[in-house]
């Protein structure tokens, strides 16, 4: 029932938006737009209804204590300031302590947090904090590089603009060799 109410209110808002820009919501190409937008936002904001804890699949590291890099995880999110998309790649590196995480779970964690209204800084920190808490790694780094449509489509209108955010701790903060290896692994110059 709650989802039906939400869907109905989104449809009503979209219809009002269409009217406010002096368009006809009954026009052929726009008749189904409120319904389509409601479905799209339900999917784009599905991270609110998902718990990243449910994605966890931890394994014993069996004494492996070297750098693990999971890179080029695609993500799409909505900026909390303009509700316009921002998208890019997430790169994660960690040095296991006692546990490792199933590799596909990193992408699931990224997807859950990115499917919420976000800003890039918070998204980086949320992914970092979750992995840090659940794995207690000896070192961790999360780097996100993204394009923001609020910069490309409005305001400064700069298409070449890429934002990079990074959070690191432990061995990936103190050992330059691991830090450089991470950047080599993801093929970005540090």
Q: Catalytic positions, please? A: 79-82, 120, 148, 150
Cβ partners under 8 Å of residue 125, min gap 6: 167
Radius of gyration of the chain (CA): 20
- Looking at 11-162, which runs of residues are DSSP E strands? 58-60, 68-79, 85-95, 99-101, 117-118, 139-148
Cβ partners under 8 Å of residue 171, min gap 6: 95, 138, 139, 178
82 annotated to a ligand binding site = yes
- Distance (Å, rounded) from C-alpha 54 to C-alpha 181? 31
Q: Residues annotated in the binding site for Zn(2+), as ranges? A: 79, 82, 150
């Amino acid at each position: 029932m709650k989802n039906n109410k939400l869907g109905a209110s989104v449809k009503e808002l979209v219809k009002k938006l269409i009217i406010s820009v002096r368009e006809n919501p009954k026009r052929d190409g726009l008749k189904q737009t409120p319904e389509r937008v409601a479905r799209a936002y339900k999917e784009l904001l599905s991270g609110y209804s998902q718990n990243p804890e449910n994605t966890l699949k931890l394994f014993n590291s069996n004494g492996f204590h070297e750098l693990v890099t999971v890179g080029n995880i695609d993500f799409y999110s909505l900026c909390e300031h303009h509700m316009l998309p921002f998208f890019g790649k997430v790169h994660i590196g960690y040095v296991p302590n006692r546990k490792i995480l199933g590799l596909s779970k990193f992408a699931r964690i990224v997807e859950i947090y990115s499917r919420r209204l976000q800003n890039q800084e918070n998204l980086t920190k949320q992914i970092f904090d979750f992995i840090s808490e659940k794995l207690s790694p000896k070192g961790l780094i999360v780097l996100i590089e993204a394009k923001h449509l609020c910069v490309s489509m409005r305001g400064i209108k700069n298409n070449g603009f890429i934002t990079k955010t990074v959070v690191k701790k432990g061995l990936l903060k103190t050992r330059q060799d691991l830090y450089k290896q991470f950047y080599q692994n993801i093929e970005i110059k540090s």
